[in-house]
A and B are shown apart, each in its own frame.
Chain A
Amino acid sequence: MSKITLQMVVADLDRLPALPEVVQDLMDYLQRPEVDVGQVAYRLARDPALAAKLLRVANSSFYGLQSQVSTIPDALVVLGLRAVRTLVTGAAVVTHLQTLVVAGYDQRALWLHSAGTALCGRILAREFGANAENAFTAGLLHDIGQLILAARFAEANRRVWAYRAEHDCHPIEAEREVLGFDHGQIGAALAARWKFPAEIAAAITSHHTPMDQAAGSLAGLIHLADVMAHVLGFPGGKDDLVPRLSSLAWNRLGIGWGEFKRLLGEVDAQRDDAERLLN
């Protein structure tokens, strides 16, 4: 039984397959202060699968379009470039990491939960006036550390799962007990490596401990989004366990339970978007 450290896992991130060149190029281009829609469309067209996914997302109910958009330039106009940057990133990361195949690990459940949390994060951000695109991406990636652990450190991961099965506890408790670090820290390191905004990395690190971050931070939103996704059955199943909702994080948001139920309803109405994102 070999001991692994957070440093070992972070160093190993370099060995994950790199983001495709088209995606990296597009993300770099979208960082510029002034971008040209024609250039973005041209770059996107080099990756037809990504372009198709972007169109699917643009046509999802969240954006409430009166009619369907069928071309990339139309989608860019409808979504706005900031949204496109996040969506491109999110779609690319999901497509990319879906290629990590892990024997005996239910990747589908992880992605369903991730997509559900992304939807919840987006709706909460809209409700609280935060950046919806960052909330979406943070929701999508908040548990990515679990996948990395399973894919790259299978033996250590098996020990974590054995502990979970024995104690019927939350993944994060098993990870801290068995490894001494957790999936939030791994995910944040990946987000930093891929040069995502700092608030996304912070939200991934602290999604189970939002009290470590200031009031109004993205971590608080993703913390609640994670809880919402679990209660809405993303992913569902007999092992699913609702995470502990922090009273401090809840009180900071200052909403009532009636409003919470309304938000659950809003997410439920967009359930199909989660499937669209994954397929």
Chain B
Amino acid sequence: MMATIRKILLDQALPGMVLGEEVTSASNTLLPRGTVINTGHIDGLRRREVTEIVVLAPSELSAAEIEERREALRGKVAHLFRQAGTDATMQALLRAVLEYRLEKLE
């Protein structure tokens, strides 16, 4: 999967993100490019008053991958509702749950 880089505020950094550029302070490298950052790193950078970092942003999922995930989710919800029958309230619940889960996926 192709990856692009983007600059984010340190406050938006999340554990698991990958540095797209090294982080430096004066002339020292604090963290090299490619580091998978954890909460310790984020706290450390905050102490050193780093406010922005550059991270790798995975490119958009392909249309096929998105459809695959949506299909897996539909299957999961259908399984949970396998005994729902034709009752109108249960069918409405099923639609609402599916909408909610699909919206969350996006």
Contact = CB atoms under 8 A, between A and B. Distances in A.
Interface residues of B, number: 20
Given A247-B89, A250-B89, A241 B83 contact: yes
Contacts of B104: 265, 268
B93 interface: yes
A153 interface: no
Interface stretch (B2-10, B37-45, B60-68, B95-103): B95-103
Contacts of A245: 89-90, 93
B89 A231 contact: no
A244 B90 contact: yes
Contact of A257 (B80, B87, B95): B95
B80 A247 contact: no
Contacts of A260: 96
Given A247-B87, A247-B89, A242 B96 contact: no
Contacts of B80: 230-231, 240-242
Interface in A228-267: 230-231, 238, 240-242, 244-247, 250, 257, 260-261, 264-265
A257 B98 CA distance: 12
A170 interface: yes
Interface string A206-244: 000000000000000000000100110000001011101
Contact of A168 (B81, B83, B88): B83
A261 B96 contact: yes
A264 B101 CA distance: 10
A169 interface: yes
B100 A264 contact: yes
Contact of B83 (A169, A227, A238, A250): A169
A241 B96 contact: no
B48 interface: no
Interface string B64-77: 00000000000001
B47 interface: no
A32 B92 CA distance: 46
A246 B93 CA distance: 11
Nearest to A263: B100
Contact of B93 (A227, A240, A241, A268): A227
B82 A241 contact: yes
B95 A242 contact: no
B39 to A, nearest CB: 14
A264 B77 CA distance: 15
B14 interface: no
Contacts of B82: 168, 241
Contacts of A241: 80, 82-83
Contacts of A261: 96, 99-100, 103
Nearest to A230: B80
Interface of A: 168-170, 227, 230-231, 238, 240-242, 244-247, 250, 257, 260-261, 264-265, 268
23 contacts: A168-B82, A168-B83, A227-B93, A230-B80, A231-B93, A240-B80, A241-B80, A241-B82, A241-B83, A242-B80, A242-B84, A244-B84, A244-B87, A244-B90, A245-B90, A245-B93, A257-B92, A257-B96, A261-B96, A261-B99, A261-B100, A261-B103, A264-B100
